[in-house]
Structure 1
Amino acid sequence: MSETRARRMWKALEPYHAISYFAPETRQATDALGLRGGWMSYFACRAAPLGQVGPEVVTAVFYNFHPSMVARALPDAWGLASPDQVLKARMEAVDHAVRRMLPDAGTVLRRTAELARQAAEVAPVAGRPIGAANAALPWPGEPHLDLWHATTILRESRGDGHVSALVTAGITPCQANITMSAAGGPSKAVYRAARRWSDDEWAEAEEDLRSRGLLAADGTLTEQGRALRQQVEDTTDALAEQGWSRLGDAATEELDRLIRPFTGAIMASGLIPPDNPMALRWEKNELPS
């Protein structure tokens, strides 16, 4: 996919947010609350800003997970820990993880956090439930945590817009995974493991795409399929661009420049695997030497 400003900023910021998914501190914190397993930890942590919602709501707004996968985690998680307890645990986990991974961030991080907060405060939230829920939370008050909170608001606002683009394009939750993989994104194996659609459901979704002229017999996207997938990505970027336009060119470019040493270090650490469901990839020449 072509790299627009909105996509470039997502790529620059996403690794800092993703600390909460991959750092062992998160699982340790949610284990201490009594949550069971990594997926219960994930769904509870990410859904906690929405309050004590059930699996139907989370399945709808997260979009591409199998409903049964969400139902195995929620609402059981709320019987073990309240959303407020989970929110506190995830922030404490991020605190410990960032201090461990970026111990010498210094004053540059403070300025980076200031700019990221400015971006988050003008990011669109109308029609974006997860983005709005995170934006409604209080700011932590420490630069490294404010930066994480800002990157979370920004990526969830963008993600909500992405769901809208998929729905508009008529791409179902399972097909979102299929078309992204076929477009050169994460491998089919990663999506099958991380989203848990059955063989029959995956095959049915592929057959529907073939019947619509979007997927070829060999599993690659047709020209029409590539165009539709590009339309989804273009719409996602256009919806996210609203916030960057409000922030302005100078502040956006400064944030991009300041955040990359931090997020580059996170990517270089190996914390986030190269083949990941977020489709987050950094080339070797983008990583710190």
Structure 2
Amino acid sequence: MADGMARALWERYEPVHDLVYFAPRAHRAAEALGLHGFWMGYFALRAAPLGPVSPAVVTSCFYVFHPSRVARALPDAWGCAAPERVLAAREDAMDAAMTELFGPEVTGSAEFTEAADLAWRAAAAAETAGRVLAAANQALERPERPTARLWQALTTLREHRGDGHMAVLVGQGLGPAEAMLLKAAAGESDEQFLRETRKWEQSEWTAAKTRLRERGLLAEDGSLTGAGRAVRAEVEALTDAAAESPWTALGPDRTTRLAHLLDPLARAVEESGLLPPGNPVGMPSRSTPVGG
């Protein structure tokens, strides 16, 4: 679709997906499994669809994390709880988190079930060749509860977009640190927050900055050059294009309907205070309207 719908849907499903990282219910579910600390819970909850994979696999799939950050959580997490238990716990946690945040009158409504079914249909139609995280999530069974069904479908769509984004970054010759530096220079995330949470050493970060300056993408003051802005724009445009298949399959009318149904849910998450400052997921402010 050349009408921006892939980006419009991303702006609306990303906040809902992010509950798995920041909702207290998710943290408590991880702790109950013996997954102590934010990062062990994060990596286990997100990687569980892949099975008991090694740190190297998760480092590759998640792209922006330093290998040492992943290795502190995996494979130890699988010794606390097998992926099957983690998947069941995250489904229960997302059901509880969404019911608490949106209210049972919302999650029990016909419109919420409609959103879950539309999202599931889109996620099932997503092309997953070369998209490991999307394929692993798409292969999970359809949850009976509309809350879990909606969250899982949005997660498949989110990982589908993310897998495509990483392919674009590789094609542009932008490694993990370079990709984050460009995002920070574009004003979409806090640079220090990204470096510290992804556990990159200052020397590695500085070396990445040097490479970007040598390519003419960063100025000496760390801002984007004209060439840097052009590369950022191309990365985003190619990522949007690579994310189109679910929405082409769903069709413009149903895609627009889903965007409208997701809009108040996304706003509820954004206004809840659950998402931390520094924009760790790199979500830009909502800018793409939907018609209808």
TM-score range, shorter chain: over 0.9
Q: Percent identity?
A: 48
Secondary structure of 1:15's counterpart equals helix
Length-normalised TM-score, structure 1: 0.95
Contact 2:188 2:282 in 1 (8 A): yes
Q: Does 1:210 align with 2:213?
A: yes
C-alpha deviation, 1:190, in angstroms: 2.0
Task: Output one character per residue of 1:47-105: Cα deviation in whole Å (capped at 9) or x when no partner.
Answer: 11000100000000100111100000001111111011111111111111111111121
Contact 2:11 2:286 in 1 (8 A): no
C-alpha deviation, 1:4, in angstroms: 2.3
Counterparts of 1:114 and 1:95, CA distance in 2: 15
Secondary structure of 1:270's counterpart equals coil
Q: Once superposed, what is the RMSD of the aligned Cα atoms?
A: 1.6
Unmatched tracts of structure 2, length 5 or more: none
C-alpha deviation, 1:274, in angstroms: 4.7
Letter in 1 for 2:29: A
* Residue number in structure 2 paired with 1:171: 174
Would you identify which runs of 4 or more consecutive aligned residues in structure 1 move more than 6 Å? none
Task: Output one character per residue of 1:185-243: Cα deviation in whole Å (capped at 9) or x when no partner.
Answer: 11112212321111100000000111111111000111111111211111110000122
Contact 2:48 2:83 in 1 (8 A): yes
Counterparts of 2:239 and 2:29, CA distance in 1: 33
Counterparts of 1:275 and 1:265, CA distance in 2: 19
Counterparts of 2:110 and 2:247, CA distance in 1: 24
Letter in 2 for 1:258: L
Counterparts of 1:218 and 1:155, CA distance in 2: 33
Instruction: Select the residue among 254, 257, 274 that pairs with 2:257.
Output: 254
Contact 2:112 2:146 in 1 (8 A): yes
* Residue number in structure 1 paired with 2:19: 19
* Residue number in structure 2 paired with 1:197: 200
Q: Does 1:100 align with 2:100?
A: yes
Matched positions, count: 284
| Higher relative contact order, structure no. (Cα contacts within 8 Å, ≥ 6 residues apart) | 2
Letter in 2 for 1:257: H
* Residue number in structure 2 paired with 1:38: 38
Unmatched tracts of structure 1, length 5 or more: none
Length-normalised TM-score, structure 2: 0.94
* Residue number in structure 2 paired with 1:85: 85
Secondary structure of 2:273's counterpart equals coil
Contact 1:274 1:280 in 2 (8 A): no
